[in-house]
Chains A and B, each alone.
Chain A
């Protein structure tokens, strides 16, 4: 019984472990993916809000070239600002952990 039983259970459990590994990877990838989408969505929303506020003070029938240029510059400035804040915040967290 042990002679036949043991190998078959160990094969079964190793198959299960391979499946578990794959499933685990699939779950983790899905979580990462969803968080990346949430992060990007948040960035798009904040930039739209801030740059609309800053660049389109009097909405016309369409975006004029001036507004268009402003939005482009604003978008770039906002992303640079995000990086500055991110760097400073992480530095500060690291300092407070010491």
Chain B
């Protein structure tokens, strides 16, 4: 899998190390956002297509609206839950 040798890694100079660490951090947060989008799409696709068969490959206005509402209300709910738990802690 990995073609990078251990010895070569140890010889990496300091600036390169730093750049790699920054690169990993940014790729990591990008990947987290992407994975969230996967789980939201999964959830909202199920919700918005629950009571109807798939009859076209496109999204009509109502379907698009359903998806954005689904996402935004989910995030609202998430914030509410966090706030409620923070309140309960005090």
Q: What is the interface of chain A, defined by CB distance below 8 A to chain B? A: 13, 16-17, 19-21, 23-24, 26-28, 30-32, 35, 38-39, 42-43, 46, 49-51, 54-55, 70, 72-78, 80-82, 84-86, 88-90, 92-93
For A20, what are the chain B residues with a Cβ–Cβ distance below 8 Å?
A: 11-13, 15-16
Residue from the list B23, B34, B41 in contact with A81, Cβ < 8 A: B41
Report the separation of the CA atoms of residues A24 and B24 in the bound assembly, to the nearest whole angstrom: 11
8 A-B residue pairs with Cβ-Cβ distance under 8 Å, sorted by A, are A17-B16, A20-B16, A23-B11, A24-B20, A54-B49, A73-B55, A78-B41, A81-B44
How many residues on chain B are close to A (CB under 8 Å)? 45
Interface contacts beyond A80-B58, A82-B41, A85-B44: sample of 5 additional A-B pairs, CB < 8 Å, sorted by A = A17-B15, A23-B12, A31-B27, A50-B46, A77-B49
Residue from the list B13, B20, B48, B71 in contact with A88, Cβ < 8 A: B71
A43, B54: Cβ atoms closer than 8 Å:
no
Question: What's the dominant secondary structure at chain A's contact region?
Answer: helix
Query: Would you give the shortest CB distance from B67 to chain A, in whole angstroms?
Result: 5
